[in-house]
Amino acid sequence: MSRYTGPKRRLSRREGMALFPKDIKALERKAPTPPGVRGTKVRPRVSEYGTQLREKQKAKRLYGLSEKQFRNTFNEAAKKKGATGQTLLELLESRLDNVVYRLGFAKSRPEARQMVSHGHITVDGKKVDIPSFRVKINSVVAIGAKFVDNTQVAKNLQENSSVPEWLERTATVGKVNRLPEREEMEKAVTEQLIVEYYSR
């Protein structure tokens, strides 16, 4: 299954939360009811399986992965030592597009993915245009020389003056100091539900 390319606000309504920055105000004005539901603010009760499915879908959409990409990432996490759920989040957080977003180079993961795909990001001095590229500890992630003066990038850096402690940033250059702790990763995701979903 390919990555969803339809209206992003529809995904936010489906998951009952703002998956993308632009959806925050829209969902505050209108109750986040699922698409197709009218005249009620009460969400229908869902089964245990339904809850697990929704959590998987939410995480997949937050990080912008296709179904196949997300399943492959989960399978990779399951083969590693340690808690599968937390390892899954570590793998998702170490994607290049996510690191670009966390460094404040982009205002959202979709924007970060576009920056990477268009060749505006370098890793250890080399251009990398693969959003799923996995960065490592001590990797240096920077905005390419031809894009450092972009007005949107300058605005993003100004609006995102701080970065998570597992990263550091100086101007348009960032570095991965370590793997993120659980509290530094996506708080909107309950990873155990995803593990339960794939364990059925």
Query: Is the confidence at residue 29, as pLDDT, over 90?
Result: no
Radius of gyration of the chain (CA): 18
Beta strands in 13-138 (DSSP E): 121-123, 126-127
Which residue pairs, CB below 8 angstroms and at least 24 apart, start in 76-82? Answer: 78/198
Domains of the chain are 8-91+189-198 (1.10.1050.10), 95-178 (3.10.290.10)
Inter-residue contact 122 to 141 (CB < 8 Å): yes
Task: Identify the band that residue 46 occupies on the pLDDT scale cut at 50, 70 and 90.
Answer: confident
Query: Is the confidence at residue 2, as pLDDT, over 70?
Result: no
- The per-residue pLDDT for range 153-199, each reduced to its tens digit, is 999 999 988 899 999 999 999 999 999 999 999 999 999 999 999 99
Nearest-angstrom CA–CA distance, 24 and 21 = 6
The pair of three-digit structure tokens given for residue 199, joined into one six-digit string: 């364990």
Inter-residue contact 85 to 192 (CB < 8 Å): yes
